[in-house]
Chains A and B, each alone.
Chain A
Amino acid sequence: MTNGSRQERARLVLMERLDDPGLGDDALMAAVAAGSRAAFARLFERHGSAAWRLAFRLAGDAGDAEDLVQEGFARLWAQAPRWQAGQAGVAAFLTRVVTNLAIDRSRRKRPQPMADLPDDPDPAPLADAVLAEADTARRIQLCVAALPERQRAAIVLTYWEGLTGPMAAETLSLSPKAFESLLIRARAALKGVMAAAGLSAADLPGDLA
């Protein structure tokens, strides 16, 4: 039996088992490496929501978050032939890719030059009005979005994604000590932004305050 026919038989077996809910991510990645789009769809069903949530929290915008998720899954697709079972899972891979993509995208953002501004006034309400009308959650998200990209990523990974210090440090390619220092700076900065925005624990709903 040649190598080609053996791989084809393995691919067929994987296709038959795709409906098995107990099929692991590594097996799905093997099927994706064989070109199975169904396996890739199964992976998206499992990890798409988490990736979207992380992307939205990091980017602060639905459009940017969608781009981040698309790019992250595209890299997962390209990584499938080189995927090694037993390594970090698909969730960790997507978390690292989406975080780094968000940081890179935030760094690439440049101030909009005056020549590119529209002539007509923006019909959207002013920022003060947005802040005044938005609920507390939105205001807090805006405060987080105002942080530098790495501090924002540290806050998001620690408080919203629930990663431990070493896991978040590995995601950001930092040492645990460096991440701890980064998180301390991020906390201090976020407190300052929130205080400047008039946020305090008194703004929380009754059951949370």
Chain B
Amino acid sequence: MSFTPAISDADLARLLGAASTTPPLPAGLCDRIMAALPADPVPLPPPTALRPARRRWLRPAIAIAASLAIGSAVAAGLVDVPRLAPILAPLLQQLGVAPAPARRPQPTARTAARPHPAQPAPAAAPPALATPALPPPRLQAELPAPAAPATLPTFAPPAPLASRPPAAPARPAPTAIRAAIRAEHLPDLPARPMLIAPPPVAIPPLPDAVTTAPPAVTAAPDAATDAAESATRSGPAATLPATAAERAAALQALRQARQNGSLTPDQARQLRALQTLRAARANRPPPATRPR
């Protein structure tokens, strides 16, 4: 339920104007107030002395010190520059600033103009190197000696960076390790690099699914398998069975012999060859391009 007052703004002003009367000021109020006041108004605090003048020299001194520090740091970094070195080095010595860690000058076009003192030639090749030192070529021996070798600019070899770790000794490739193991344990088995890293198989063009009869999956030519078979048959284990059934029977028989402990070295090599052949067949790429 909403209540709407029936008094307008003008009526309100008239009503308030009629009620503006107030009682007169009580008598003696001034005296009572004066009696309650303190004796004197709260005095202002005494004027304090002005702040002592600021130390006007402080900021310039800080600025000078900071610029000196920055400048000496920059100079210590630039002392390696050959042109600035004769200027900066005595200055830094006067200031007592240690130069930056010495860096060997890099051979640049500017440094080539100023000859460095001749560096001794590097020592002969270490004896650990297997390659014998080649005799000097005849042409070089026949050349006349340089007129003034001391004046030629020579560059010091760049120092190795401290942050770079020394190069690790060259490790033999895994294929080389496998080849060495194979040569040690199976000296008669020929190397089969195709089994480890088969070359990319050339995908033949797609045959026409309608006109071309689909070849048998089991008889599908496979480059990796063929290569493995040829590699296997080319060695002493060339007496492997030709058909898959014969190979499976032979593999079963060889396994049985291995379990019985009657496996001869020839049989072991044959078993190994059969296993390798089977692994090669298992790893051949899927016949995705063959129509089924």
Contact = CB atoms under 8 A, between A and B. Distances in A.
Contact of B26 (A33, A53, A66): A66
Interface stretch (B31-39, B168-176, B196-204, B280-288): B31-39
Q: Is the interface of B mostly helix, strand, loop or mixed?
A: loop
Contacts, number: 111
A179 B134 CA distance: 107
B177 to A, nearest CB: 89
A141 B8 CA distance: 18
A190 to B, nearest CB: 7
B151 interface: no
Interface string A20-42: 00000000000011010100110
B41 A78 contact: yes
Interface in A46-67: 48-49, 52-53, 56-57, 62, 66
A143 B43 CA distance: 44
B17 interface: yes
Interface in A112-159: 136-141, 144, 155, 159
B18 interface: yes
Contacts of B7: 191, 194-195, 199-201
Contacts of B12: 187, 190-191, 194
A136 B17 CA distance: 11
Interface string A182-195: 00000110111011
B108 interface: no
A70 B25 contact: no
Q: For B6, B14, B19, B23, which residue has the most chain A Cβ atoms within 10 angstroms?
A: B19
A204 B25 contact: no
Interface residues of B, number: 35
B42 A140 contact: no
B34 A195 contact: no
A66 B30 CA distance: 10
B30 A136 contact: no
B41 A81 contact: yes
B9 A187 contact: yes
A69 B11 CA distance: 31
14 contacts: A45-B30, A52-B26, A56-B23, A70-B33, A73-B37, A77-B41, A81-B42, A81-B43, A81-B44, A137-B18, A140-B15, A140-B19, A191-B7, A204-B18
Interface of B: 3, 5-9, 11-23, 25-26, 29-30, 32-34, 36-44
Given A66-B26, A69-B33, A192-B5, 9 more contacts: A35-B41, A45-B30, A136-B19, A138-B19, A144-B16, A188-B5, A200-B7, A203-B15, A208-B17
